[in-house]
Amino acid sequence: MIAAVHFSERRHAWAVDLGGTNTKLGVVDDSGRVVVQEAFSTRPGRGGDSWAEEAAEALRGAAARGGVEADRIGAVGVGAPGPLNVEGGVLTNPLPNLPGWQGFPICRALANRCGKPAFLDNDANVAALAEHWVGAGRGVDNLVVLTLGTGIGSGIIADGRLLHGMSDNAGELGHLSINYRGPRCVCGNRGCIELYASAPALVRLFKQKLRRRECAARKGRSVTAEAIFEAAREGDPLAREALEEVGRYLGMAVASIVHALNPEIVILAGGLAGAAQFLLDPLREVVRERTYPDLQVGLRIEASTLGAASGLVGAARLALREQSSQRWT
């Protein structure tokens, strides 16, 4: 009986989702269930070591609260803003999110304090792992996750494996240009899809539409992407138009992505995926028009089903996958 109980015990991982503003962390089991989660302010100004101290403390606390013994936790998985070095577990140049953290060996800092190996990947790759594991991309070997927020990132899984590229910078699909004569982007390029279909782009587009209609009553209000989602849900035609336009722009980038990578599913994640109901139809229509029929067979374009949990779930997957040759019983 005891052996049977041991056999059925789940493995767990510590998961960390590091952002410039908040750090989310928790304990996730090997079915992808978030057992405990909490958050604290990252406060990047204090530097990485002080942050790691607080994170390790919080991870231990989370395990205790979840009733998970430390010896059933195999590793720590971390999703963080790039650019970073996966193999070395180092944040190489995490600007503008974490100024002063260039070169911070986050894996070593956490492993030393937690007594477990730590594994790192960028937040968009971690989101792709989560979708592939227990989300909209479950069981799919070729998928692209677009994280739509302040910027646009992406994680690409091809033939079942995350694409990293030469220096772990693959998947910067926000800097796929849809217009070589378009507006200038911080990356140096022009017309990057990030300039047409991120949260700031949505707000800009909506404001343009407001001005065009001379809707003085609204003009002064501070407009956020969330406020536009809400207005769209309440039936506001301008908000819907703006979201549909963003959906069409996304479709133009997705058409190129589909030709490049021939994925089975493209998943919208991140803040803007909250408005997927308004984005998806125009996006799909553009892809239908602009993609070779052979590449459309079996192709799906869907919203993430994981929402905000995706960062922790994917970080846990990273830890559990990397540790899969070990056993903790």
Which one of 71, 87, 159, 234 is in contact with a copy of itself (CB under 8 A)? 159
Cα 185 from Cα 175, distance rounded (Å): 8
C-alpha triplet 296, 308, 176: angle, nearest 5°: 45
Tally Cβ neighbours within 10 Å of residue 22.
12
Instruction: Confirm or reject binding of residue 292 to a copy of itself (CB under 8 A).
Output: yes
C-alpha triplet 74, 78, 84: angle, nearest 5°: 130
Q: Judge contact between 190 and 178, C-beta under 8 A.
A: no
Which one of 256, 285, 308, 328 is in contact with a copy of itself (CB under 8 A)? 256
* The pair of three-digit structure tokens given for residue 30, joined into one six-digit string: 């090997």
> How many residues at the interface with a copy of itself, by CB under 8 A?
53
Q: How far is the CB of 182 from a copy of itself (least distance, A)?
A: 9
Is position 49 annotated as part of the catalytic site? no
Q: Judge contact between 131 and 144, C-beta under 8 A.
A: no
Q: What are the angstrom distances between the C-alpha of 78 and each of 308, 312, 320?
A: 15, 8, 12
Tell me whether residue 79 or residue 174 sits nearer to a copy of itself (CB atom): 174
Q: Which residues of 207-229 are buried (b: 16+ CB within 10 A; e: fewer)?
A: bebbeeeeeeeeeeeebebeebb
Q: How far is the CB of 104 from a copy of itself (least distance, A)?
A: 16
Q: Looking at the DSSP assignment, which residues form a beta bridge with residue 302? A: 267
Q: Report which DSSP code applies to 1.
A: -
* DSSP run (H or E) holding 119: strand 118-122
Region near a copy of itself per CB under 8 A, out of 28-36, 257-265, 307-315, 320-328: 257-265
Which one of 70, 203, 295, 308 is in contact with a copy of itself (CB under 8 A)? 295
Instruction: Confirm or reject binding of residue 170 to a copy of itself (CB under 8 A).
Output: yes
Instruction: Confirm or reject binding of residue 298 to a copy of itself (CB under 8 A).
Output: yes
Which one of 60, 261, 281, 308 is in contact with a copy of itself (CB under 8 A)? 261
Q: Judge contact between 62 and 37, C-beta under 8 A.
A: yes
Q: Judge contact between 188 and 240, C-beta under 8 A.
A: no
Region of residue 87 (left: phi > 0; alpha: psi -120 to 50; beta: else)? alpha
Question: Among the options 123, 141, 236, 294, which is catalytic?
Answer: 123
Q: How far is the CB of 238 from a copy of itself (least distance, A)?
A: 22
Tell me whether residue 66 or residue 81 sits nearer to a copy of itself (CB atom): 81
Instruction: Confirm or reject binding of residue 294 to a copy of itself (CB under 8 A).
Output: yes
* Interface mask toward a copy of itself for 174-213; x: CB under 8 A: xxxxxxxx-----xxxxx----------------------
Which one of 21, 50, 112, 167 is in contact with a copy of itself (CB under 8 A)? 167
Instruction: Confirm or reject binding of residue 93 to a copy of itself (CB under 8 A).
Output: yes
* DSSP run (H or E) holding 39: strand 34-41
Region near a copy of itself per CB under 8 A, out of 4-12, 42-50, 114-122, 259-267: 259-267
**Residues recognised as catalytic:** 123
Residue ranges in contact with a copy of itself by CB under 8 A: 83, 92-93, 141-142, 156, 158-159, 161, 163-181, 187-191, 249, 252, 255-257, 259-264, 289-292, 294-295, 297-299
